Amino acid sequence: MISEKVNQIGASPTLKITAKARAMKAEGIDIVDLSVGEPDFPTPDNAKAAGIRAIEQNYTKYTENEGIPALKNAVIVRMKDDYGLSYELNEVIVSPGAKASLFLILQALVDEGAEVIVPAPYWVTYPMAVMLAKGKPVIIPTKEEKGFLLAPDELKAAINPSTKAMILNNPSNPTGAAYSKAQLEALAEVIKGEDIYVIADEIYAKLIFDDFQFTSFASLGEDIKKKTVVVTGVSKSYSMTGWRIGCALGPAEIINGMAKVQSHSTSNPCSISQYASLEALTGPQHEVSRMAAEFQRRRNYCLMRLRAIPNISCFKPQGAFYLFPNFSYYYDKEASGIQIRNSYGLAYYLLKEARVAIVPGDSFGADSHIRISYATSMENLEKGLDRIIEAVSKLKTPKKIKRVALNNAVTRVKKSVPVDSSVNLKMRDALVGEMESTLTPESYFEWNANINGVIVQLRTNVSHLYDFWVENWYPAQLEADLEPHGIIFAVDGIAGREARVFYNSESKTGVIVNADNYGPLRSLALGLVMDVSERLFGVHGVRGMSVDVEGKGLIFVGPPGTKKTELFFQLLEDRRFRLHSNDIAFVRNAAGQALADCVERKLYIPTNTVESFPRLAALFDSSRCENVITHKEDCKDAECLRLDDCRLDRGSPFCYKASKEAHAMLDPYWLGGKAAHTKRTSLRWFFILRNDTLSPAVVKLEKGEALRILEAGESAGMKRTLSPSKPQPYYNPHLLFATEGHLELQRNFYSRLLDVTSCYLFNSGIADAEQIKQIVLGEG
Ligand code: PMP
């Protein structure tokens, strides 16, 4: 498993879209790529020649960590000439790109949890780089009507004692908006009174239009200069993106901190590129103004074309090379079977229908917009805009929109929660006291479930848990008429506590603190019921997926990664098999049979099972759901993200397979009544699954061997090698205890169970459901 901090960030969407456009081009599709973030001009000849000279002169070794002094000097001279700013050599660092400079600044400044203010629309990298520094990006939206500029009072309101810095991108990617000197001064007034730094990303400073006068934030006075780190570089102004040279200027202490991080990451930036950049900065500058003039001409053209599209608005940029039109009027329209609901949908539609690549505004924190780059030839722009305009003109409001009103609860906690089942009575009383003091009459739900004859009372303040609880189980008698066998408190909103499950076996009391998702509650209830019924009734929970064929049952058990779900649903495709239970069967050995009961009224089933059994989607549409993904940014499906066939892109308001954590409460009778589901079966076949490529497909197991494998939780799934999970006795994560006494009870139970069932070790890595059918139907 990769780290949480990396897991939570996405790769750059621009790169993904550009890669997709390139791949389509390679297939021979004529794509107009308006997604690029780099000038389409060549690197100036003098800079190129300087790079070649550097190679010839063997300047191909490590350089000074912070960059060669000559280049740092050249940067200093530029800042002096252009903005009257004075910097010393120890106040400059050269890095492999402005992106690296930003990364280093954030590493140097940000402690865990520190806040960094990021006005939106923002360049996609800012929030991600803050998160990688373990800081917290605080996004402040700006308005199109206000020129996408941050107002001083908005800045002031966002600052608190945790604020470490703000990022000010001037001119901006993606909007092209730029701040005038007066506007910057107003922001500087706020900064002066606060203990925060400004990271001024001025990479587009030279690419400005009309008569706009650019002001560097650091030039607003000595006190502001001390709080500002300016980021700049040669990528954009000199069309040198691939050379990877950027730099930062600011207080020596910060630059020194950045240098330390650089010394342990990239060392110095590329030596050859440094000599080329030195020439770019010190040589003739006419290429820069020629480029800016050309961008201005293209901006004017594109703006004119875009503004002619009905019902869109487009801000007129003063710099950079992007337009950021608002297309939200088209977000409920459709054409060619593609429904547009957001900027991703529009991007998808334009790529497929118009063969134009643009970047969805959502990646810049502004979903109403898309980003169009005009860093490409006039010819391409004309072609691209013709195509966009034609594709947009085809978009129509659908006559009748079939909308599924998804009944979806989104929970704060999504995963399983640590369980402490060693709670003594004294601790139990203290915990229950704490829970009861939080449960108030205004939000209190109580309901007795009858789980295979064991009565479990839920007391909770989470309405979602109550809803799922009531659907999951059969009802017991009225609360007033009976003593439950066990009680579970599920209380959310307890200050200062982590999400956690506690259990005291003597009093059969469970306590769930601050977990609002259903999984931990269901699992605890099953654990409690097993705790009661294994001794009291001799009934045991067998964790597995079970099906019935003509009154005879088979169950699959095994660790994750052994394709239980696939096999289960492959059998269910064959109408001779009926669903029994998708997670646990409660089994009693009676009269020479192993009678297995499905104790759940509705089944708590991961919605990504639609992959194995597409028929379920329609049933989930009418079920209560939990954590189904409704927003592309929340999609965790790596496989899907790699492909470009996303349901959400194509206009679906949600996706059942985008997250492993999404569940539905499924009524199994909806699969086809009694012909498709049975509550009771008599177990005959016991399949222990493993998944590898070497073991034999099917091995019939002797009882002793089967017992040993089961108790050790020994067989392996494919996923185990990637993220080894602890072997669980009997593959049962719901069991609350693995003490010798409990294991002895289990051993006796499974020993009797294996007397009346045939047990197989089945390798799902090489065998499939057909082999199971042969065994079952052949033997049966
Ligand atoms: N800042 C902004 C606002 C940018 O748009 C970019 C490039 N897209 C960068 C920094 C990074 O530039 P470099 O290529 O020098 O890393």
Residue 149's identity, in one-letter code, is: L
Which atom from ligand 1 is nearest to the alpha carbon of 169?
A: 3
Q: How far is the CA of 672 from the centre of ligand 1 (A)?
A: 57
Which atom from ligand 1 is nearest to the alpha carbon of 99?
A: 16
Q: How many CB atoms lie within 10 A of CB 592?
A: 9
Most ligand 1 atoms within 8 A of CB, residue of 95, 173, 229, 238 to mutate: 173
The conformation of residue 8, written as its DSSP 8-state character, comes to T
Which atom from ligand 1 is nearest to the alpha carbon of 320?
A: 5
Q: How far is the CA of 412 from the centre of ligand 1 (A)?
A: 35
Nearest to 183 by CA among 197, 172, 194: 172
pLDDT for res 780:
44
Q: How far is the CA of 7 from the centre of ligand 1 (A)?
A: 23
Q: For residue 121, is the peptide bond before it cis, meaning its omega torsion is within 30 degrees of 0?
A: yes
**Rounded Cα distance, 140 and 154, in Å:** 8
Which atom from ligand 1 is nearest to the alpha carbon of 201?
A: 1
Q: How far is the CA of 36 from the centre of ligand 1 (A)?
A: 12
Are 675 and 575 in contact by the 8 Å Cβ rule? The answer is yes
Are 95 and 262 in contact by the 8 Å Cβ rule? The answer is yes
Most ligand 1 atoms within 8 A of CB, residue of 35, 235, 245, 270 to mutate: 235
Most ligand 1 atoms within 8 A of CB, residue of 36, 125, 363 to mutate: 125
Nearest CA to ligand 1 atom 7: 37
pLDDT for res 477:
75
Nearest CA to ligand 1 atom 12: 98
Q: For residue 398, is the peptide bond before it cis, meaning its omega torsion is within 30 degrees of 0?
A: no
Q: Which two tokens stand for residue 593?
A: 């049979």
Which atom from ligand 1 is nearest to the alpha carbon of 234?
A: 15
Q: How far is the CA of 363 from the centre of ligand 1 (A)?
A: 15
Q: How far is the CA of 265 from the centre of ligand 1 (A)?
A: 19
| Residues in the ligand 1 pocket, defined by CB under 6 Å | 37, 97-99, 123, 169, 173, 201, 203, 233, 235, 241, 246
Nearest to 752 by CA among 519, 587, 559, 529: 587
Q: How far is the CA of 417 from the centre of ligand 1 (A)?
A: 41
Q: What is the pTM of this model?
A: 0.66
Q: How far is the CA of 203 from the centre of ligand 1 (A)?
A: 7
**Rounded Cα distance, 137 and 131, in Å:** 7
Q: How far is the CA of 59 from the centre of ligand 1 (A)?
A: 26
**Rounded Cα distance, 268 and 68, in Å:** 9
Q: Is 43 exposed, middle or buried (0-12, 13-18, 19+ CB in 10 A)?
A: buried
pLDDT for res 719:
53
Nearest to 459 by CA among 444, 474, 473, 472: 444
pLDDT for res 652:
77
Nearest to 280 by CA among 78, 466, 481: 78
**Rounded Cα distance, 587 and 534, in Å:** 10
Q: How far is the CA of 698 from the centre of ligand 1 (A)?
A: 57
Nearest CA to ligand 1 atom 8: 37
**Rounded Cα distance, 169 and 205, in Å:** 10
Q: How far is the CA of 38 from the centre of ligand 1 (A)?
A: 9
Most ligand 1 atoms within 8 A of CB, residue of 99, 128, 206, 244 to mutate: 99
Most ligand 1 atoms within 8 A of CB, residue of 40, 94, 123, 130 to mutate: 123
Q: For residue 171, is the peptide bond before it cis, meaning its omega torsion is within 30 degrees of 0?
A: yes
Q: How far is the CA of 213 from the centre of ligand 1 (A)?
A: 21
The conformation of residue 504, written as its DSSP 8-state character, comes to E
Q: How far is the CA of 404 from the centre of ligand 1 (A)?
A: 42
Q: How far is the CA of 98 from the centre of ligand 1 (A)?
A: 6
Q: How far is the CA of 247 from the centre of ligand 1 (A)?
A: 11
Nearest to 542 by CA among 701, 429, 686, 383: 686
Angle at 33 between CA 31 and CA 38, to 5 degrees: 155
Nearest CA to ligand 1 atom 4: 173
Average pLDDT for runs of 10 along the chain of length 780? 76 69 87 93 96 97 97 97 96 98 98 96 95 95 96 96 97 97 97 96 97 96 97 96 97 97 96 98 93 96 96 96 96 85 88 92 93 96 97 87 77 94 96 93 91 95 96 84 90 93 96 97 97 90 96 94 93 95 95 94 96 92 94 75 67 86 95 94 96 92 93 72 67 88 91 95 93 82
Which atom from ligand 1 is nearest to the alpha carbon of 100?
A: 16
pLDDT for res 245:
98
Q: How far is the CA of 121 from the centre of ligand 1 (A)?
A: 15
Nearest CA to ligand 1 atom 3: 173
pLDDT for res 720:
43
Q: Which two tokens stand for residue 676?
A: 């498709």
pLDDT for res 401:
57
Most ligand 1 atoms within 8 A of CB, residue of 17, 35, 104, 236 to mutate: 236
Q: Which residues contact 694 (CB under 8 A, 6 or more apart)?
A: none
Q: How far is the CA of 111 from the centre of ligand 1 (A)?
A: 24
Which atom from ligand 1 is nearest to the alpha carbon of 101?
A: 16
pLDDT for res 375:
96
pLDDT for res 293:
96
Are 563 and 691 in contact by the 8 Å Cβ rule? The answer is yes
Which atom from ligand 1 is nearest to the alpha carbon of 102?
A: 10
